[in-house]
Structure 1
Amino acid sequence: MNTLGYAILSTLASDSCSGYELVNHLEVMWPAKHSQVYPLLKIMENKKLVTSKSVEQVGKPDKKIYSITEKGKKELEEWLITTSSNPVVRDEFLIKMYSIWLVDQKQAKDLVQKRVEYLAQKLENELEKVVVFEMNAEQKQWNIKSKTFRRYILSKREIKLYEDEIGWCKWIMSFINKTNNKHFVLGIAGVKLINQLLLGII
């Protein structure tokens, strides 16, 4: 079974839910599309890892509620103690940063500024979630077994990542500000010249 399958089992181990709700829950740890989740749920149901029941809705089609089975719990518990795979990060912004010398100073600033704005919005969203988590925690005993605690620790990680990348972007911006537009243009022209020499054009 792939990692998405274990993410599904991990979510259902906390609460039974519909496929639509499941996709929303997965967003915090292993984002996936409905087109990925529903076919996998069918496979997992055939393997007796999850079970489902139809729930009647007024004025709407019946919906399926999925739950983890004992076999699914055992599968999840066995997977939990295995060594995690090395994380893979694919972010087109990193490719753009690697090639940032190809644009002028204004374009470089715009690229980084847009990223900072995106990260700032994501950071604000996570901070709001954490405030809600912590307010609820004050009203009852909270520990690592609590359902909300699991989402809380992932939100805290997201906050740290967003804060660190915003700092990294500001560090890049400081270098862009120190580099005048003439240097950007000379850099692009120099690479074009090297390419022409290699191709035998000049």
Structure 2
Amino acid sequence: MNILSYGLLGLLTREESSGYDLMLKIQPHWQAKHSQIYPLLSKMENDELLASRWVQQSDKPDKKMYAVTEKGIEKLLGWMITPVTAPVTRDEFNLRILCVGIAEDGSMRRILNERKNWFLERIRYFEDLKSRIPQDNLRVGSREFGSYILVQKGLMNAQTGIEWCNWVTQLLDGQAAIQDPCPSNSEN
């Protein structure tokens, strides 16, 4: 099984879902397309990690709903105790920033503004997700607690990204001295 399979199982521990709903729910955490998700669901169903049922709809095509089985939960719990791999960073923005020494000031500002706007959009996106989590589920032990703390992580990352863009803009404008904005803290 791959990591996406475990993520899908994890989402299904919360509620029965269609493949399309699973794709939407996993997007904030893992980029996946229909073409990846549906074959995994089929394989996990064949391996008895999932069960499914068809739901008839009058105004749309029938949809297949998936639920995790006890065998699926056992598989997921086994994965949960394995070590977590290091995160993978693959960001075109970072590669472009490596090249700023040869770029004109205008292109650097354009790149920064584009990324700042992206961070602002991410904040709106995560605020919307946060507003959908019922207040009584914002507690340790609830099924939605993981979603809540991950939404908060997304918000914090976006806010930090905006701060970084503002800091670099201040450097470009000569309003900030080139110094380490985050001195090391040896207590961590």
TM over 0.5: yes
Percentage identity across aligned positions?
Answer: 33
Unpaired runs of 5+ residues, structure 1, are: 180-202
Distance in 2 (CA, whole Å) between partners of 1:118 and 1:161 is 12
Change (3 A) 1:47 1:132: closer
1:67 counterpart SS class: strand
Conserved? CA contact 1:28–1:151, under 8 Å: no
Matched, 1:144 2:140: yes
CA displacement at 1:114 relative to structure 2: 1.2
Conserved? CA contact 2:137–2:143, under 8 Å: no
Distance in 2 (CA, whole Å) between partners of 1:142 and 1:161 is 20
Matched, 1:17 2:9: no
Query: TM-score by structure 2 length?
Result: 0.86
Distance in 1 (CA, whole Å) between partners of 2:38 and 2:32 is 10
Query: TM-score by structure 1 length?
Result: 0.81
Aligned length: 175
Could you report, residue by residue, the CA deviation over 1:85-143 in whole angstroms, capped at 9, with x for unpaired residues? 1110101000011111222111111110111011012113323433554xx32xx4753
Aligned to 2:113: 113
Matched, 1:129 2:129: yes
Aligned to 1:29: 29
Aligned to 1:157: 153
Conserved? CA contact 1:13–1:68, under 8 Å: yes
**Higher percent of residues as helix:** 1
7-16 vs 123-132, greater mean Cα deviation: 123-132
Q: CA RMSD in A?
A: 1.8
